[in-house]
Amino acid sequence: MANRPIVKWTILADDHATGSEHEVIEWEVGVDRQEEADHERVVGWNLAAMTEKDVEAAGKLLAELAEERAQFDAQCTVDEVEQEATWCQEAMSSLLAATVEKIRIRARSKRWWNAYIKERRRMVGRERRRRRQSEEAALAKAELQKSIRRSKREMWSDYLKN
């Protein structure tokens, strides 16, 4: 929802009571229907992984794309500004698609995780494995002790029979 454009929004009438002084806002979100062949949505680009070479290539490509565009002056119309905004969005998408690695969101993707969260998750996993291993060791030790007692009982019962 955070990376989808809001297409339309309205403040609803007073018949939608909230129990507070706040008003209810209804909004529609534009959904991009672009799908990849493997049914994974491309929702962005990995800008953090860009190298200096990628930045230079993107700059050159942007300069080539912008060469054809007219410059605005104070007499431009609203339609011209809208068309330019649309062109900028499309140009940026094609520029990024050509120069930057795409990010795909999958069921287990956690784009909001930072390095601190990743490290904490690693520590929790290590601790969980350590506990599991120590539980397994304790169970193995208890089983060994049971088998030793059983062997001793069998040995004494055989000794007493003879």
Confidence at residue 111, expressed as pLDDT on a 0 to 100 scale: 61
Query: What is the C-alpha to C-alpha distance for residues 42 and 101, in angstroms, rounded to an integer?
Result: 10
Residue 128 forms part of a structural domain:
yes
Residues in contact with 16: Cβ distance below 8 Å, sequence separation at least 6, in sequence order: 24
Residue 102 lies in a domain: no
Share of the chain above pLDDT 90, in %: 2
> Residue 146's pLDDT is what?
92
User: Which pLDDT score, from 0 to 100, does residue 67 have?
Assistant: 81
The half-sphere exposure of 107 on its side-chain side, counting CA atoms within 13 A, is: 1
**Does residue 23 belong to any structural domain of this protein?**
no
Please count the other Cβ atoms lying within 10 Å of the Cβ belonging to residue 96. 20
- Inside any domain, residue 63: no
Please report the DSSP string for 84-144 in residue order: HHHHHHHHHHHHHHHHS-EEE--TT--TT--HHHHHHHHHHHHHHHHHHHHHHHHHHHHHH
* HSE value, Cβ hemisphere, 13 Å, CA-based, for 149: 6
137 within domain boundaries: yes
Examine the pLDDT at 4 and tell me if it is beyond 70. no
Helix axis angle, 52-67 relative to 78-99, nearest 10°? 150
Q: Give residue-wise pLDDT tens across range 119-157.
A: 888 999 898 888 888 888 888 888 988 998 988 888 888
Residue 68 lies inside a defined structural domain of this protein: no
- What's the number of domains the chain is made of? 1
Range of the domain at 151: 113-162
Residue 145 DSSP one-character state: H
Tokens 């990995």 sit at which residue?
46
pLDDT digits (tens, 9 = 90+) for 38-65: 444 556 788 878 888 888 888 888 888 8
Confidence band of 34 (pLDDT split at 50, 70, 90): very low
Report yes or no on 90 lying in a domain: no
Per the domain annotation, does 56 fall within a domain?
no
